[in-house]
Amino acid sequence: MISTAPIPTPWCSFRQIESAPVAAMVAERCLFSLDTLAYARFHPGATFALTEHEDDAIWRWAIVGAEGNVVNEGRESTQAAAQYAAETFARLTSP
């Protein structure tokens, strides 16, 4: 059965990431701008998500797996929609 309970997701900006190794790992997956990059961890040590502004009307979201690979990504018209899409994908695929 797929859980529909919301996952608490504390999104933070790239500048708010306190750990240098985590910041470096997140920055490696950024394709557009660190100024707009937001990060959230879903499963400790396993999965994190990011959103970033691709251009005027597009926000990229990505889910990054434990091995550092992008396991899914998409595009949305707002950052809130991109974060929601990332959270939804993480919820549907959580162990």
Check if the beta carbon of residue 62 is closer than 8 Å to that of residue 54.
no
**Is the predicted pLDDT of residue 22 greater than 60, yes or no?**
yes
d(Cα 61, Cα 38) in Å, to the nearest integer? 9
What residue ranges in 1-95 does DSSP mark as E strands? Answer: 12-13, 38-43, 47-55, 58-64, 70-76
Instruction: Write down the pTM of the prediction.
Output: 0.81
Lowest mean pLDDT of 26-35, 42-51, 64-73, 79-88, name the range. Answer: 42-51
pLDDT at 68: 84
Cβ-based burial of 54 (10 A; exposed 0-12, middle 13-18, buried ≥19): middle
Task: Return the bridge partners of 64, or none.
Answer: 48, 70
d(Cα 76, Cα 59) in Å, to the nearest integer? 5
What letter represents residue 61's amino acid? W
